[in-house]
Amino acid sequence: MPERSEGLPGATVPRGLGALPERLAALDGWRRRALALGLGALLAAALPPFGILLAAVVALSGFVWLLDGARTTRGALLDGWAFGAGFCGAGLYWIANALLVDAATFGWIVPFALLAIALGFGLFTAAAAGIARIWLPGPGRILAFAATWLALEWLRSWVLTGFPWNLLGSAFSLAPELLQGAAWGGPWLLSALMLTVALLPAMAVCVPPARRLSAMVGGVACGFLLVIALYGLGAWRMALHPTTYAGEINLRLVQPAIDQREKWRSTLRDSHFATHIALSLSQSAVAADVVIWPEAAIPWQLLADPARRAQATAGLAQGSLLLAGAVRFEREGDGTVLPYNSLVALNRRGDPVAVYDKRHLVPFGEYVPLRGLLPIDKLTPGAVDFVSGTGPEVLTIGKVPPFRALVCYEVIFPDEIDAGGERAAWLLNVTNDGWYGISTGPYQHFQAARLRAVEQGLPMVRAANNGISGVVDPVGRVLAQLPLDAVGVLDVRLPAPLEAPTFYARWGDLTLAAILLPLFFHLAWRLRCLRRTDDG
């Protein structure tokens, strides 16, 4: 199809707020790219912990209007790339904090890492903009942009091991009532609804300039009413599912808030271990059936020592368990040592009774992709890469209801929660967000865990070395939490799951196909009509 010139070079640009679409489309050069970058950064304000939904409305509608002025496909791709770079740079800047934990070794990488994050993830938005430009300005282009954005969110969740962080639907985390759609369509339905709310004002470009302002206001009002309707439906669903509890299973979550710069110092190993034990034994009116320590709470040197394991569990009541994040090693027959990032269950005697090895490892954090070509080490201590576990599984130990273990960022993958076979009664996420300091990262991570609870209809229990530990019921209510940087414990009863799996738990990402297929069929029909018009 030949390129179509849609810009307005040299034209008189109309004035007034109603002429905003034309004014944005008429921008050129560095002003276009700067505005696209700024609108992308503004979109990040809709994400946790801010939840400013109006920012998404301004950013996405504004970008679609800006895109209408792209005179070539290359220009549209650059606009989209700038928009995505702003969005991902502002939303994921905190990843660079992990490099500053050992600034002497990794600090030099920070500017390159930030640039790679922004520009790399910006490619997805560039593709959405380039595809949307195939359609003429108006509803077809807006629908194409939304459908492609949604499809590319799914693609981002698995390409190059996947990174489905900050999916647009997570903006609804500002209230549990707004998350309830995830039980039907997972994060994809929430993103589709967020795109609908944010792009309604963009439809104002389809009316004459004299009516443009009222159409824009009407679009914002319709989006607001849609959010109110979603809130009302969510409140109704939550009322149908009050919080219930799994018998008398009492949990104690330990959050030591150990500074990441101090965590792996060999001279402080015993002190950190003692901190975990002291918190586990701190005064409580109710004896815990399960004590939970966060990710990598027990280093391999102590895990391999039976006396130290017994020391960790000496305060447990009869029949109670310690579930602890631990680094463990296995030695192969040829002498090769294999390290694992694990969750270990210890009984009162300190004997391991179950182990889960993390399957989805963090690139560059726990292993280095293309190690032979890249001249860098992984961020976690040790020269050897961690080894991936065998896969998801449901653990059943003693009187504890069966649960699915998720170590660190495994919790951000919506399609990897189901272990197959037996249904879990609860989800356990052990993590360490101390890598990211005081930033938006830990808040985004906690809300991702909360979203998994709603999607599966299962309570989520989360123990973090530093922020945010908490317990979420199966419809997203936060029953208890310890904030970032707090040292302490949470004593809570284990919530019960919903009686039946949610629609999303049954069908998974097939729900995304149900959302996208009608949209793509409609777009294909519109494209066919457009080509017939061009041929004529």
Q: Which residues are catalytic?
A: 295, 358, 408
CB within 8 A of 535, min separation 6: which ones? none
Do the Cβ atoms of 53 and 46 come closer than 8 Å?
A: yes
- Closest to 49 measured CA to CA, from 169, 157, 170: 170
How far is C-alpha 72 from the geometric centre of its chain's CA atoms? Answer: 34
d(CA 179, CA 124): 25
**How distant is the alpha carbon of residue 125 from its chain centre?**
17
Residue with tokens 């080894």: 387
CA distance 412 to 397: 25
Q: Contact, 364 vs 160, CB < 8 A?
A: no
Backbone phi, then psi, for 378, in 5-degree steps? -70, 160
Phi-psi region of 335 (alpha: psi -120 to 50; beta: other; left: phi over 0): left
Q: Record the tokens describing residue 280, joined without a space.
A: 């586990």
Q: What is the DSSP letter of 167?
A: -
**Which residues, 6+ apart, have CB-to-CB distance to 312 below 8 Å?**
273, 276, 277, 280, 298, 302, 322, 324, 346, 350
For residue 93, how many other CB atoms are within 10 A of its CB?
Answer: 19
Q: Which residues contact 311 (CB under 8 A, 6 or more apart)?
A: 277, 350
- Residue recorded with tokens 């993390």: 358
Distance CA 71, CA 181 (A): 38
CA angle 469, 473, 474 (to 5 degrees): 130
Write the CA distances from 271 to 306, 407, 451, integer angstroms: 18, 24, 35
Cβ distance 489 to 279 under 8 Å? Answer: yes
Q: How far apart are the first and last CA of the chain?
A: 13
Q: What is the DSSP letter of 11?
A: P
What are the tokens at 188?
A: 């994809």
